[in-house]
Amino acid sequence: MLKTLEGRNKSEIASLLSAAADRFLPSPDESREKSDFESAVESLLRELRGKEKIPADDALSSRARTTLLAAVVQELRGWLLDQQRLTEAKARLGQRGELPPTQYRIQFEPSFGGAQRRGITRSHAEDALINGQFQHLLPDITGGGSSSALSLYTKQHQSAGRASDSFVLLVQAKRSNDVQLVTTAWRVYYSDNDLTNVADPLDVLRAFVDRYGLTFTVGADPQERKFILYETIPLPKDAQTDLLKLHNKAGQKFEASNLFRVRDGVAEVAIVYAIDIDRYAEDLRKHGVNVEPLPANIVSVTR
């Protein structure tokens, strides 16, 4: 790398090289404001003159200008290529769950609206993703396909008032390259859930689902469950049959989270669970949480 570019961030490098290229425009815009990098551009061009062996007394002849412009373009092309490689590497590491939390971009799925109706803001979730404990699951159940992997985050919140109001904020996200797509979040209260032996975010989720989860069946498997993680389940022969059959009462509100792929007569299930929102909301209100009613059941599904 040229010395003039050393120690600069990628935004500065791009601006500096672009400003240098502007010097060689056939009809520069005289009204254009001077770049903040004018002195750095001069240093860069002097460095390139030396590298291209253009004499110091050359008043930038046509040939010298062409040589310098080609050198600037070459530097810019090389920098862009490096950035592309960096982006690709970051995407691979992110999908495998090997990036530090601060290196993931955070986006929110529409299903996060359910968490917002339970008093959890986007800033609450972002804080957990950046500063909380994390566990990256599902290394990629698709073998290179389109389904996202799963990440869980937890952040403890101690109540300054009643000890019974202390809780763990559990945030769930779909991991797609270097992006965390936040799907939902839950307040898991110590006084309402058995968190005695939990060691990681997945343990917190299991304890939460054990208390508030609804039973269901998947595919051709008649076994009633509350929670499925990493299983391959055969599909019924009747293609019209629903993959997931939830055992909820008429009018009972729920929020379901499903991550699976269907192929070759089976369902490759990453995770499935459904929360009894009516029961959960009742407990939240006991802790002083203002819970807005759901306009409809929320189902976050990735196939």
DSSP characters over 52-100: TT--TT----HHHHHHHHHHHHHHHHHHHHHHHHHHHHHHHHHHTT-S-
Task: Based on the fold, state whether residues 195 and 259 are members of the same structural domain.
Answer: yes
Domain end among 41, 60, 95: 95
Task: Based on the fold, state whether residues 25 and 156 are members of the same structural domain.
Answer: no
- Spatial strand order in the sheet of 149-157: 105-108, 179-189, 167-176, 149-157, 133-137
- Structural tokens at position 208: 């939460």
Domain end among 59, 75, 95: 95
Task: Based on the fold, state whether residues 124 and 71 are members of the same structural domain.
Answer: no
The one-digit pLDDT tens for each residue of the chain (303 residues) are 688 888 787 778 877 887 777 777 655 554 444 555 778 888 888 888 888 888 776 666 777 777 888 888 888 777 776 677 767 777 777 887 878 888 899 999 999 999 999 999 999 999 999 999 999 886 444 444 445 588 999 999 998 878 889 999 999 999 888 899 999 999 999 999 999 889 999 999 999 999 999 999 888 888 899 999 888 888 877 655 567 788 888 778 899 888 777 777 787 888 899 999 999 999 999 999 999 987 777 776 554
Task: Based on the fold, state whether residues 105 and 91 are members of the same structural domain.
Answer: no
**CA–CA separation, 104 and 87 (whole Å):** 12
**Inter-residue contact 246 to 214 (CB < 8 Å):** yes
The residue segments making up the domain with residue 149 are 101-302
Task: Based on the fold, state whether residues 135 and 49 are members of the same structural domain.
Answer: no
Q: What is the pLDDT of residue 291?
A: 93
Task: Based on the fold, state whether residues 254 and 274 are members of the same structural domain.
Answer: yes
Task: Based on the fold, state whether residues 205 and 60 are members of the same structural domain.
Answer: no
Task: Based on the fold, state whether residues 38 and 180 are members of the same structural domain.
Answer: no
Task: Based on the fold, state whether residues 273 and 124 are members of the same structural domain.
Answer: yes
Domain end among 61, 95, 129: 95
Task: Based on the fold, state whether residues 164 and 55 are members of the same structural domain.
Answer: no
C-alpha distance from residue 64 to each of 19, 55, 71, 75, 107 (Å): 18, 9, 11, 17, 48
Choose among 182, 99, 106: nearest CA to 136: 99
C-alpha distance from residue 90 to each of 6, 104, 131, 154, 279 (Å): 22, 9, 20, 24, 41
Q: What is the pLDDT of residue 235?
A: 82
Q: What is the pLDDT of residue 280?
A: 96
CA torsion angle 245 249 255 258 (round to 10): -10
Task: Based on the fold, state whether residues 90 and 114 are members of the same structural domain.
Answer: no
- Structural tokens at position 252: 């009972």
Choose among 200, 186, 172: nearest CA to 259: 172
Task: Based on the fold, state whether residues 58 and 121 are members of the same structural domain.
Answer: no
What pTM does this model have? Answer: 0.71
Q: What is the pLDDT of residue 59?
A: 63
How many domains are there within the chain? Answer: 2
Q: What is the pLDDT of residue 112?
A: 94
